[in-house]
Amino acid sequence: MKIGVIGSGIMGNGIAQVIATSGYEVVLVDVNYDVLNKAKQTIMKSLEKLAQRKQSILVDKILSRIEFTIDKNHLKNADVVIEAIVENIVVKRTLFQELDELCEEKTILSSNTSSLLISEIASVTNRRDRICGLHFFNPVPLMNLVEITGTEETSSETLAIAEKLVASINKESIHVKDTPLFVVNRLLVPLICEAISLVDEGTASVADVDKGMLLGANHPIGPLRLADMIGLDTMLHIAEALYIKTGDSKYRVPELLRRKVETGELGRKSGRGFYQYA
């Protein structure tokens, strides 16, 4: 199988890496070669770290399986294309419409969206039976879960191919109805938002909130440090999307989260969020 990945950011380059590591030919597409070169360096460093623990990781061989290009035409004959671009429904729909016209009839188009409905993305295409969601988790090389989402029009064959692909790259999958934020984020976002509210109210410090969940709930990482890892701007976008979609007050967005994003405190990627990073 030939797999296309569109978007070479944190999620896209991670997806390309794990798929290439499993022996697939990958085409990684982005808007310019500067971001693609950055993605290549990120993938290489990640593989080098993994190679220190696993002799089976052959960095150069895996990298040779990934084509880095700005030309979407290289996706024409892909078996599966995974979109991992900005979490914006208008931009995603525009891309899927373009891919629908460009790619061969066999091609399955999938989205890595974490908050948008697959049915809304699929509605602009003429292959709604071959559209699905493949939601990976960050960091992709280390996280074992992929949420597979189908619409009422997604064929059973498409879902079977998606499940087989996920299994072949050594990931586990769960099947999720096409609903806002699917399963994991639907549970995770309210937890993180409540943790942020506890800090904003002065109930407990950032360190103590995280320590409480580490030791009291046996979580491997505290919710606030996890928010920093995800990116507070991403957290804000997802939280707002859930609140808008459901209108449920339990999904309210904490003001402290808004303030941090407004001041550029986005977590690890900006060097400061709920914690400071070197």
Both tokens of residue 34?
């500067």
For the segment 61-100, what is each residue's pLDDT rounded down to a tens digit? 999 999 999 999 999 999 999 999 998 999 999 999 999 9
Torsion over CA of 196, 259, 266 and 11, rounded to 10 degrees?
80
Do residues 10 and 75 share a domain? yes
Show which of 119, 154, 177 is a domain's final residue. 177
User: What pLDDT, on a 0 to 100 scale, did the predictor assign at position 169?
Assistant: 98
Model confidence pLDDT, tens digit, residues 231-277:
999 899 889 988 888 888 888 999 999 999 999 999 999 999 999 99
* ∠ Cα 238 267 144 (to 5°): 65
Find the catalytic residue in 111, 119, 185, 265: 185
Domain match, 35 and 166 both? yes
Active site residue 237: no
Residues 86 and 121 sit within 8 Å (Cβ to Cβ): no
If asked whether residues 112 and 173 sit together in one domain, one would say yes
Q: Do 47 and 87 fall into the same domain? A: yes
Catalytic residue among 115, 135, 173, 265: 135
Q: Whole domain around residue 248: which residue ranges?
A: 185-270
Residues 189, 162 share a domain: no
Q: Has 25 been annotated as catalytic? A: no
Write down which residue in 143, 177, 211 finishes a domain.
177
Domain co-membership, 258 together with 196? yes
Identify the pLDDT of residue 127: 98
Q: Are 39 and 10 in contact (CB under 8 A)?
A: no
Question: Is there a catalytic annotation at residue 175?
Answer: no
Does 39 share its domain with 166? yes
Taking only the tens place, the pLDDT of each residue in 174-227 is 999 999 889 998 999 999 999 999 999 999 999 999 999 999 999 999 999 999
144 is catalytic: no
Q: What is the CATH number of the domain that holds 73?
A: 3.40.50.720
Confidence of residue 17 (pLDDT cuts 50, 70, 90): very high
CATH number at residue 242: 1.10.1040.10
At residue 104, does pLDDT exceed 90? yes
CB 133 within 8 A of CB 182: yes
pLDDT value, residue 33: 96
pLDDT-based confidence at residue 8 (cuts at 50, 70, 90): very high
Angle among Cα 225, 146, 266 to the nearest 5 degrees reads: 30
Domain count, the chain: 2
Q: Are residues 206 and 169 in the same domain?
A: no
Edge-to-edge strand ranges of the sheet holding 108-111: 66-69, 25-29, 2-6, 80-83, 108-111, 131-136, 145-150, 172-177
| pLDDT category of residue 142 using cuts at 50, 70 and 90 | very high
Of 163, 165, 167, give the one whose Cα is nearest residue 155: 163
User: For residue 278, what pLDDT band results from cuts at 50, 70 and 90?
Assistant: confident
Catalytic residue, chosen from 114, 115, 119, 173, is: 114
Dihedral-angle region of residue 182 (phi above 0 means left; psi in -120 to 50 means alpha; beta otherwise): left
Helix axes 184-201, 232-246, angle to 10 degrees: 110
Give domain status of residue 199, yes or no: yes
Considering the domain architecture, whether residues 74 and 21 belong to the same structural domain is answered as yes
Q: Is 217 exposed, middle or buried (0-12, 13-18, 19+ CB in 10 A)?
A: exposed
213 and 124 within one domain: no
**Final residue before a domain boundary, out of 158, 177, 196:** 177
Is 141 found in the same domain as 204? no
pLDDT of residue 275: 98
Q: Which residue of the set 112, 147, 173, 265 is catalytic?
A: 147
Do 192 and 162 lie in a common domain? no
Residue 277 covered by a domain: no
* pLDDT surpasses 90 at 58: yes
